[in-house]
Structure 1
Amino acid sequence: MSDQQPTSPADPQPTSPSDPQATAQSAPGRLRGAVAAVRRSAARRPVPWIAGGLAGVLVLGSGGAVAVAAATMPTRPAAAPATSTAAPTSSSTTPSAPSAPTATPTADARAVPDDPAGPSALRTCTIDAAASAAGLGAFEGFVMDAESGETLFSRNGEQAAQTGSVMKTLTSATALAVLGGDHRIPTTVTRESGGAIALVGHGDATLSAGNGTVYPGAPTLAQLAQQVKAQLGDAPVTTIVADASYWNGADAWDPTWPESERTIGYQPRVTALMVDGDRADPAAATSPRSTDPVGRAGAAFRTALANAGVIGAANAQVVQRATTSTDTIASVSSQPVSTLIGQMIPNSDNTLAEMLARVSSRESGAGGSAASLTGVYQQALAGYGLDPAGIVIKDGSGESAANAVSPAFVAHLMVQVAAGAKGLGTLSQSLPVAGVSGTLSSRFTGANAVARGKVHAKTGWIDSANTLGGYIDAADGTRLTFAFYAIGSSRAAALPALDAVTAAAYRCGGSLTSS
């Protein structure tokens, strides 16, 4: 399905984080700097404080000054670093309390000992109210600090579930790892004996008949036909072979996909040869698709050959089979994978997602089948320093409710995406932006408008779930990565609730804490 943008209701305001208070009789500037240094240290390397508070004495200058800061909080485990290959856990432990650190007038705040067991003393802001909204249904959510790798919020965050079109972020990352951003998908024509030529598909769904396209810059059948004419001259064509054998043509439709996805026009049958994404209206993103994309492509190529003046083409027979020839007489290529991702992600194009998934499988040696995708994705995503054990990939678009990826895994992937690691800047730059672009252009309204321009995320929508996953440049300057799944609620209720909990996370920033 495509992703829509309804209006969001007001979002409850989260509790503001509290700041330690300090008093000073002299040298106030130096005192404020020392307190700020301690706070930065606590935020960077959380340490558990003794219950009831900690008093610190800072002596500044010859006159002296005294400042007392107190804070209390529970202890919990720290999350794995962003590059960890294991997902963080949410179980609690109770470490023994360390001795109170002693500050001196020249002490470097960074010298405070690390203790991985405790959260920052300044983390007092919650999104619990927004995360409990009825519109979120069976809610799963995960938020982490992209820089420190610390888990800031998790509610069923490590439970694998259906992703909707958030899956397209995994598909993009897999394609970039397997194919590379510069890879182009070819379509070729080979010459057989007896006046037969073959149109051979390799998974480029953007190949266009030239009557409009939703993929600007796509290669055309006319370009192929002109090359064929130049090669054949006055030799006639009697047979046009439509070859979609790059992967098994019987593996074209997932049984968990509603047939309405094809008839309404969100998804074609996934074949290695098609024209204009098999759309009835090639210039419309959402347009009914056929039951025979390969035959439709063959017929369109016959028209292009006739228009190019190829003798006999107008009356040539179109047959579907694998070609018997390697004598290539014409070839065109798609735009680079990086461009295809830029066309797929903002508008949530299912067709390109399925093609990139299958081409990644085929080029990796896995054959191009849907059944191969879990293994292909796991291997590719592990290359980003992630632990993909347990993910289940049924398709590239996220249409299947049988897909299973946890919000925690998506959030960890988004750390790499936000950083532009290993070519993932292509995906980062393509993500819709709240209130600005793509499938988020009309979302985040009302009280949630505070996060407009600050949330970069992929939307997801299938009948049983609405999802959102990406990164947030929060109000306090912290970069958060997140994924939120609203499972089982209506779309009308889920979208504003997802916007509200995301905006709440934006307000909390690095002060976010799970209850």
Structure 2
Amino acid sequence: MEEPVQTPEPGTAGGAPRGGIAAVFNRHRRAWLIAAGALVFVLLGSGAVFAGTQTGANEPAAASAVNSPTATPSPTPTVDPARPVPAEATTASRLRTCSVAGLAADGRLAEFQAQVVNASTGEVLFDRGGTTSSRTASVMKVLTSAAALSVLGSDYRATTRVVTGAEPGQIVLVGGGDLTLSRLPTGQEPFYTGAAHLDDLATQTMVAWAADPANPPITSLVLDSSYFSGPDWDEGWARTELGLGYMPEITALMVDGDRNDPTRSTSARSEDPIARAGQAFADALGGQLTISQATAPAGAAQLAAVQSATVSTLVQQSLIVSDNTLAEMLARLVAIENGAGNSFSALQAGIVGGLAAYGIDTTGMIIKDGSGLSPNNAVSPAYLTALFLKVNAREGNLGVLFDGLPIAGGPRGSLSYSDRFAGANSAADGAVFAKTGWIDTGYTLAGVIHAADGTPLTFAIYAIGNVSSNAKIAIDTLATGFFHCGNNLSNN
């Protein structure tokens, strides 16, 4: 700013005459000085408001037409190191108002765990102990199926063979882990869809044997079940499951899942599935054979072979009716195929290794069997919701798994029973695609929900501990709550 021009004070040399305005000013000098001061204050104040208004609007003040002073550069803003600024602004989560807190507090759920994820965004909408690994019951079949689809592939088939024995007139029936092989005549369908038949294997064997005139009559049958190693029964399984018809002893050679009735899902099993299979094959060959158990000679010539249905068929049948036998068959074949071993103790490395391709953290996962009958399995709800994100997207072969899930109110499967999604819970019929689970100390349900608002949800619900069958109702009610809430589901 330039300094103002100094004016001589009135009454001094060079000042204005005392007459006229000067005289008036001189007579009222004090009043004039007060008025002038007030005027200057008003002018200065107006300038400050104007300047403030311009600054607040982030617009430069108009330059003077007479004097254009050099603009002072704006200083570079500095960031307080104590208050870091994020590279990108974070997006606030929406406020969700649909609460299922009352449903989740149902005492029938006992030691309750659950997680729900928006399958479109990956956002966790609801979580109660979701990262804690716990027993899964038959929801374990989802993991077994996913591992089988990854390691074996959807077109894999288990093979049962007949080879020549070490002695004249001797043949060996070699189990290849096909627990669905049926003793029913070809043309009569057993419980397992697309199963191979022993009579077909017997016919092939006799034709191949007769093709060599040097062969003597078949008099001896050896049974080779060494493809799986023992024990045949997991230590965590209740032995009553055998008589109740839910689980056989697990051997590489059996027929019809070792059922007394090959056409029924639930049917009592025997104490010796290998012997039952051997006798059925001997009968198909005409009987009167000496039967023993041993390992086939190395390099023995193959006489006949039959194959199971594909893994895609086995997976879907295992899931829809929660078949334990098929799940254990797939689990053992997975462990063998990826080099983990051929026993129950190989399933941890076998199945976890088979799940590796999906890129989901398996920390804390414990695998004791393939069916979920063991109470010692442990998988977190969070693992299941993450896996079902991929199932819902039908990644790789996982569309096969989705197509095998029971559907609430569906025409078949474990969610079509009269005690599932009944009454008000029928609102979710056709919208819940999920695997059920039940053991004495837990009820579970996990899968995909197509919510009422169109949001796809993945979910897992565990009711663990001191539970009874009415836990299923509480689980279904909570799942129906998730269905109604959709993306408005609150975590409160």
TM-score by length of structure 1 reads 0.75
Task: Quote the Cα distance in structure 2 between the aligned partners of 1:175 and 1:270.
Answer: 17
Pair 1:114–1:284, CA change in 2 (3 A):
farther
- 1:67-125 deviations in whole A, cap 9, x for unaligned? xxxxxxxxxxxxxxxxxxxxxxxxxxxxx9999xxxxxxxxxxxxx7526x4223x121
Tell me, which stretches of 5 or more residues in structure 1 are unaligned? 1-95, 100-112, 307-313
Task: Quote the Cα distance in structure 1 between the aligned partners of 2:357 and 2:269.
Answer: 36
**Where do residues 235-314 of structure 1 align in structure 2 (5 Å cutoff)?**
235-248=216-229, 250-306=230-286, 314=287
Structure 2 equivalent of residue 320 of structure 1: 293
1:142 aligns with one of 105, 115, 129? 115
Letter in 1 for 2:223: A
Task: Quote the Cα distance in structure 2 between the aligned partners of 1:340 and 1:514.
Answer: 38
**Does residue 460 of structure 2 align to residue 483 of structure 1?**
yes
Structure 2 equivalent of residue 512 of structure 1: 489
> What secondary structure, in the 3-state scheme, does the structure 2 residue paired with 1:315 have?
coil
**Does residue 408 of structure 2 align to residue 434 of structure 1?**
yes
> What secondary structure, in the 3-state scheme, does the structure 2 residue paired with 1:421 have?
coil
Is residue 184–residue 333 contact of structure 1 (8 Å, CA) maintained in 2? yes
**Does residue 322 of structure 2 align to residue 345 of structure 1?**
no
Identity over aligned residues, as a percent?
Answer: 46
Is residue 378–residue 389 contact of structure 1 (8 Å, CA) maintained in 2? no
Task: Quote the Cα distance in structure 1 between the aligned partners of 2:448 and 2:225.
Answer: 39
Indicate the RMSD between aligned Cα atoms, in angstroms. Answer: 1.6
Structure 2 equivalent of residue 474 of structure 1: 451
1:354 aligns with one of 318, 325, 328? 328
Structure 2 equivalent of residue 73 of structure 1: none
> What secondary structure, in the 3-state scheme, does the structure 1 residue paired with 2:145 have?
helix
- Aligned length, in residue pairs: 397
- 1:49-69 deviations in whole A, cap 9, x for unaligned? xxxxxxxxxxxxxxxxxxxxx
Task: Quote the Cα distance in structure 2 between the aligned partners of 1:255 and 1:168.
Answer: 19
Is residue 141–residue 154 contact of structure 1 (8 Å, CA) maintained in 2? yes
Structure 2 equivalent of residue 372 of structure 1: 346
Structure 1 equivalent of residue 161 of structure 2: 188
**Does residue 180 of structure 2 align to residue 209 of structure 1?**
no
- 1:178-223 deviations in whole A, cap 9, x for unaligned? 1000001000000123111011011101100015510122100001
**Does residue 206 of structure 2 align to residue 225 of structure 1?**
no
**Does residue 475 of structure 2 align to residue 498 of structure 1?**
yes
Structure 1 equivalent of residue 21 of structure 2: none
- 1:418-466 deviations in whole A, cap 9, x for unaligned? 1110110000011000111310013212111111100000000101101
- 1:133-152 deviations in whole A, cap 9, x for unaligned? 01111101011111211111
Structure 2 equivalent of residue 458 of structure 1: 435
Task: Quote the Cα distance in structure 2 between the aligned partners of 1:495 and 1:448.
Answer: 12
Task: Quote the Cα distance in structure 2 between the aligned partners of 1:491 and 1:397.
Answer: 20
Task: Quote the Cα distance in structure 1 between the aligned partners of 2:399 and 2:231.
Answer: 32
Letter in 1 for 2:391: V
**Where do residues 57-136 of structure 1 align in structure 2 (5 Å cutoff)?**
115=90, 118-121=92-95, 123-136=96-109
> What secondary structure, in the 3-state scheme, does the structure 1 residue paired with 2:275 have?
helix
Deviation (angstroms), 1:488: 2.1
Deviation (angstroms), 1:377: 1.8
Letter in 2 for 1:237: I
Deviation (angstroms), 1:492: 2.5
Structure 1 segments of 4+ aligned residues over 4 angstroms from their partners: 96-99
> What secondary structure, in the 3-state scheme, does the structure 1 residue paired with 2:162 have?
strand
Is residue 170–residue 221 contact of structure 2 (8 Å, CA) maintained in 1? yes
Letter in 2 for 1:338: S
TM-score by length of structure 2 reads 0.79
Letter in 2 for 1:452: D
Task: Quote the Cα distance in structure 1 between the aligned partners of 2:208 and 2:284.
Answer: 15
Task: After superposing the two structures, state which structure 1 stretch, 165-174 or 321-330, moved more.
Answer: 321-330
**Does residue 366 of structure 2 align to residue 386 of structure 1?**
no
Letter in 2 for 1:242: L
Structure 2 equivalent of residue 168 of structure 1: 141
Tell me, which stretches of 5 or more residues in structure 2 are unaligned? 1-82
Task: Quote the Cα distance in structure 1 between the aligned partners of 2:370 and 2:468.
Answer: 22
> What secondary structure, in the 3-state scheme, does the structure 1 residue paired with 2:470 have?
helix
Structure 1 equivalent of residue 59 of structure 2: none
